[in-house]
């Protein structure tokens, strides 16, 4: 501003009402599908209870050894007894890394030659994995190959990092079973797109689809044949409900079964689900490639380290016997299996024509109303309506149900069947989960009636 145009003392200066521009990503960003309903409900006026099955926020207590450490966090002998909480090494504490390796070993898998690093929950491990396996940002080189429907954060991280994702789409049959396309179709896509890595979720989120060992072997052989990384999200490892099946893991694949698989495997680990510690925000990136491990740790130095207290609490699992851990897995499987199958059956009874995916693994089901609704149904709009307007009277209390719209779980936007699909997470306490079939049925009926009036 020239000297002669400077204001006199006390003179009012009117500045143009112009604000800095947001980046293109921020300007177009919307909340994740798993948080949409919760955010909308938080803006709602009035006292309306919400049974929240939109996000996998487990309400069960942590493993007893972890609970003990939490209760004794400032006791003598604790590293936090004097109130000092320092950074840990970027790779994480030895004990926390040993705890994750102990969980892998507890299922009979060899951990020799595995490298582990601790991250602030499973999500940063996903981000690091994508950074390490996908091609340069802004190019079509070496995309991440996903199997739709897939956990929404993978596509979101690809967008954040400027990496490309491609997908093959599973189909949901009327009997509630998800199935992969033929391996020949997957191989044709690999030959066309030349991905840098294949992502698998053996205990699948969001579908509840279980990948048995023989299927992982077939996918692993494709990874070797086309020189890809194999990234396995094992957040729900051991949570499967198929009789006579063995646990399934990228770490169960042997060099004898798939020659060349060693040195190209990565697993995403977390305390959130099997250990019932969602808010602890501790995860890990485990690999059998020393080079990948070193570079991942180098990348993560920008974040300094994961939560020191969370590492200490989960570190207790390093000292648990394999027999104890297997007993813990069985306890969880028994709890979830009984509830999930019962509720899935009840939802199909309450809503004629509805399809609900068979919960063979993890803690989710996909509900598809394609055969139970009139044309024009949009699951995202239904979810918003439930969160913001819908109510059911439950013992005199206005109550609604929060679920997640499935459209956000498909990376392939052109082949996206999510418009009639929603994900239910079996995470509320058992008495509240028992309300889900009735809530879903009555809210769906009311919404459809309102749509009919508007047509």
Pick the CATH number of 31-60+325-454 from 3.90.1150.10, 3.30.70.20, 3.40.50.620, 1.25.10.10: 3.90.1150.10
pLDDT grade, residue 10 (50/70/90)? low
Tell me: the pLDDT tens digits for 375-413? 889 999 999 999 999 999 999 999 999 999 998 888 777
pTM of the predicted model, to two decimals?
Answer: 0.91
Q: Environment class of residue 79 by beta-carbon count within 10 Å: exposed (0-12), middle (13-18) or buried (19+)?
A: middle
* Residue 418: band (very low, low, confident or very high) from pLDDT cuts 50, 70, 90: confident
128-178 tens-digit pLDDT: 999 999 999 888 899 999 999 989 899 989 989 999 999 999 889 999 999
For the chain, helix (H) and strand (E) counts, in that order, are 14, 16
**pLDDT digit string (tens) for 205-226?**
999 999 999 999 999 999 999 9
Q: Is the pLDDT of residue 336 over 60?
A: yes
State the alpha helices, DSSP H only, in 13-170. Answer: 24-28, 36-42, 64-71, 94-105, 122-133, 152-161
Q: Rounded distance, CA 366 to CA 148, Å?
A: 13
Q: What gap in Å lies between CA 17 and CA 85, rounded to an integer? A: 45
Architecture in CATH of 64-321: 3-Layer(aba) Sandwich (3.40)
Statement: residue 11 has pLDDT above 70: no
**Are 65 and 320 contacting, i.e. CB atoms less than 8 angstroms apart?**
yes
31-60+325-454 and 64-321 have identical folds: no
* Average pLDDT score, the chain: 92
Decide: 436 and 424 in contact? Cβ < 8 Å: yes
Note the pLDDT of residue 21: 86
In angstroms, the CA 299 to CA 297 distance is 5
- DSSP labels for 282-337? -EEEEES-HHHHHHHHHHHGGG--S-HHHHHHHHGGGGS-HHHHHHHHHHHHHHHH
The predicted-structure confidence for 18-27, as pLDDT tens digits, reads as follows: 878 888 888 8
Instruction: Look at residue 6 and tell me whether its pLDDT is greater than 70.
Output: no
> How does pLDDT run across 341-368, given as a tens digit for each residue?
999 999 999 999 999 998 899 999 999 9
Length of the chain: 455
The domain locations on the chain are 31-60+325-454, 64-321
Within a 13 Å sphere around the CA of 140, how many CA atoms are in the beta-carbon half?
3
pLDDT tens digits for range 34-49: 788 898 888 888 899 9
């Amino acid at each position: 501003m020239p000297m002669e145009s400077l204001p006199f003392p006390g003179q009012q200066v009117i500045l143009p009402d112009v604000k800095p521009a947001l980046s293109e990503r921020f300007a177009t960003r919307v909340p994740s599908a798993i948080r949409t309903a919760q955010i909308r409900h938080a803006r709602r006026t009035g006292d309306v209870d919400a049974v929240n099955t939109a996000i996998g926020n487990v309400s069960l207590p942590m493993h007893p050894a972890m609970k003990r450490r939490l209760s004794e966090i400032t006791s003598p002998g604790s590293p936090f007894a004097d109130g000092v909480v320092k950074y840990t090494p970027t790779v994480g504490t030895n004990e926390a890394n040993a705890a994750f390796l102990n969980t892998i070993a507890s299922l009979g898998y060899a951990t020799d030659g595995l490298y582990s690093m601790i991250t602030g929950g499973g999500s940063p491990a996903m981000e690091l994995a994508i950074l390490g396996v996908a091609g340069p940002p802004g190019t079509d080189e070496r995309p991440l190959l996903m199997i739709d429907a897939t956990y929404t954060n993978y596509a979101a991280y690809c967008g954040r990092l400027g990496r490309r994702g491609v997908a093959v789409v599973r189909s949901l049959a009327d009997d509630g079973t998800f199935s992969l396309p033929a391996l020949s179709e997957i191989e044709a896509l690999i030959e066309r797109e030349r991905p840098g890595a294949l992502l698998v979720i053996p205990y699948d989120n969001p579908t509840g689809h279980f990948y048995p060992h023989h299927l992982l072997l077939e996918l692993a052989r494709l990874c070797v044949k086309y020189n890809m990384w194999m990234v396995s999200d094992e957040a729900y490892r051991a949570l499967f409900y198929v009789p006579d099946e063995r646990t399934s893991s990228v770490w169960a694949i042997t060099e004898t079964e798939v020659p060349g698989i060693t040195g190209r495997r990565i697993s995403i680990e977390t305390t959130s689900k099997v250990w019932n510690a969602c808010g602890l925000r501790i995860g890990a990136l485990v690999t059998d490639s020393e080079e990948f491990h070193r570079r991942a740790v180098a990348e993560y130095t920008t974040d300094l380290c994961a939560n020191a207290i969370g590492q200490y609490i989960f570190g207790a699992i390093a000292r648990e016997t394999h027999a104890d851990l297997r007993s813990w897995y069985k306890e969880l499987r028994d709890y979830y299996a009984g509830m999930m199958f019962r509720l899935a059956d009840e939802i199909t009874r309450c809503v004629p024509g509805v399809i609900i995916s068979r919960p063979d693994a993890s803690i989710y089901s996909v509900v598809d109303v394609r055969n139970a609704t009139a044309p024009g149904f949009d699951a995202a709009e239904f979810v918003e309506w439930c969160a913001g307007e819908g109510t059911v009277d439950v013992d005199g209390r206005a109550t609604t149900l929060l679920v997640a719209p499935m459209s956000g779980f498909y990376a392939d936007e052109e082949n996206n069947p999510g418009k009639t699909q929603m994900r239910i997470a079996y995470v509320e306490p058992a008495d509240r989960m028992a309300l889900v079939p009735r809530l879903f049925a009555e809210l769906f009926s009311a919404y459809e009636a309102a749509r009919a009036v508007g047509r």
